Structure 1
């Protein structure tokens, strides 16, 4: 029989206390703490964390949190990581007016509407709801339209799930995503998938105009040397990628590169 007043799981979890926070930060006053790394401590209750009024950077990832109530008083908080918890809502964060970056991957957020509480955070630019490398996601990410829905709900975001969506660099992320799809073995993409094709036709770099001067001949020689260096680098990159894929996926499962 569970003790009266305790929620299921709390008896086995950790509750934050002033002593624990001071020990982790090395500060004598809770209000003096600017940075806290509380990852993987088995936390189920944030306790007195709301008294750390000067907190700017907070890592609560890898715990067993179901709510973030005490964070509502942290008006200076700029960077927050609550990945890999059991959160079904983010409502207390609506009061974190200086929040710029939020990682909420690996929780139980089921619909874009649960992000409505973030709409008033004008400084929020970075939001992560899924992390393929760490195999963390949220139920809402299963919808093919979730990315577009998040962008419409939070138009001020510059980066979603590690991918830049506006400004300089967004085209680069799209290019990397396209390259990722092309670089995967065709077997991992399903029957009938096309192999990645060379950017230029075979022999494109082998045709040269008639060499009419020593200067042109030297330029061609240097270009050929540079071209060979590029081929060597391409071979080394291919070998490195193959080794990395084998190390990360020993069972033969596929993966993608996340930027």
Structure 2
């Protein structure tokens, strides 16, 4: 099974890469009413709804003004450099201009009924009904050219490269390519084969998985560092009373000591002045 898939993908790549070579190898063909009739089998050009002129070496889009009922136009793999001559295709729903030589998304007239467009590098900014635009395999170098398509409110599908990255325009290498395109084309659903809704869902899932714990993100409760300290001042009256009591107690002790000293002094004086004390000395 894997070998079959590899061979199949290789065949697709080889087919896409050989489209430009095939276009250059084919002699240049000019679009004429007769060519359109022979290709579609329709006699009346107004009845033509599908036209495939891929890989014909066509250099210019012309002679399609009478194909007012055309729904699907394929001009891929040619040598077209400019998008023009499509003003009358008011019912056009699909336009394939992939693998051409278009280098800028230039100006063109309005396609009021255009719904689906596949082109490689074209001026399509006035196609108000455009729903599908494929610009793979061309030479668009400036990603800002996509801004000219910002008014296409019906544009749903847009391609500048394959989903695998092959057949990419040089503009796809710009680091902001995806951001610029999705910002300019706000109603886009598919970009380069990738569903934008699915891409956003995957991004949301990834963000949900890496989202921080909301509890951990909460700030810590506010608390003063000295909230537990006792800031109550002692009573002033109690402090004075204690001081007085201490002073009185000290004074009483001092008076007591003084009284004892006075009594001792009196005793010593009496002993010194007692004549009885001298009697034994005289006898």
Q: Tell me what 2:44 maps to.
A: 29
- Asked if residue 137 in structure 1 is aligned to residue 152 in structure 2, the reply is no
SS of 1:64's partner is coil
The match for 1:110 is 141
| C-alpha deviation, 1:13, in angstroms | 1.6
Aligned counterpart for 1:54 among listed residues 49, 55, 69: 69
Could you tell me whether the CA contact under 8 Å between 1:61 and 1:81 is conserved in 2?
yes
Distance 1:117 1:34 in 2: 28
Q: Per-residue deviation at 1:67?
A: 0.7
Counterpart residue number, 1:66: 81
State how far apart, in whole Å, the 2-side matches of 1:171 and 1:116 are. Answer: 22
Q: Would you say 1:154 and 2:158 are equivalent positions?
A: no
Aligned to 1:255: none
Which is higher, the Rg of structure 1 or of structure 2? 2
> Given that residues 52 and 74 in structure 1 are in contact (C-alpha distance below 8 angstroms), is that contact kept between their aligned partners in structure 2?
yes
Aligned to 1:119: 150
What TM-score, normalized by structure 2, do the two folds share? 0.53
Aligned counterparts of 1:25 and 1:96: Cα–Cα separation in 2: 25
Summarize the Cα distance change of 1:73–1:134 in structure 2 as closer, same or farther, 3 Å threshold: farther
3-state SS in 2 of match to 1:27: coil
Q: Deviations over 1:178-202 (max 9, x none)?
A: 9xxxxxxxxxxxxxxxxxxxxxxxx
- 2-side partners of 1:123 and 1:147: how far apart? 19
Match of 1:96 among 127, 132, 142: 127
Larger CA deviation: 152-161 vs 33-42: 33-42
Provide the secondary structure at the position in 2 that maps to 1:71: coil
Task: Map 1:81-230 onto structure 2 (within 5 A).
Answer: 81-90=96-105, 91-92=107-108, 93-131=124-162, 135-166=166-197, 169-170=198-199
Q: Is the 8 A contact 1:16 1:48 kept in 2?
A: yes
Distance 1:137 1:41 in 2: 22
Q: State the number of aligned residues.
A: 164
RMSD: 2.5
Q: 1:15–1:45: 8 Å Cα contact kept in structure 2? A: yes
Kindly indicate whether the alpha-carbon contact (under 8 Å) linking 1:74 and 1:96 is maintained by their aligned counterparts in 2. Answer: no
Inter-partner Cα distance in structure 2 for 1:143 and 1:116: 14
Deviations 1:146-183 (A, max 9, x none): 011100111111100000113xx4467x59xx9xxxxx
